[in-house]
Structure 1
């Protein structure tokens, strides 16, 4: 019985540490979330990388509500860019 409880405890601890690590890494950096670039939802690390991949970008500070760039041209237009867009905003 004690060994079963220990296993359950270890699984919970590992799960918690994994969640905490993911949350910390998301909070520490600015990311552009690729929705259409790949099947597994890759991360873009820069505005240029997002534009080069011809994908949508989430602009979280361009408007009061979340604003989606609908195409690559809009994404690269300067309306949604490094200066007025995402700055460590993804709380998944």
Structure 2
């Protein structure tokens, strides 16, 4: 934490500003703010916002290399899971 060896809450008061000062300043700032969602005027017309759309682009692999890579990765994952299972069985026995 910026050259200080301990936890960020255990630093001395001379090292930096205290969290109480920051918290009090935040409270004063929030109370001084005007406006906000509760004071906003209602919108005259409802609007529709389209964020994204779905489109089918295909199924499967595009090249034989993609298929080989996916199948190799799946085989390695199965082998890893089997090895881990065997290791746990030997530890339990």
TM-score range, shorter chain: under 0.3
Structure number having the greater strand percentage: 1
| Greater share of residues in helix | 2
Q: Which has the higher contact order (CA 8 A, sep 6+)?
A: 1
Q: TM-score, normalised by structure 2?
A: 0.27
TM-score, normalised with respect to structure 1? 0.27
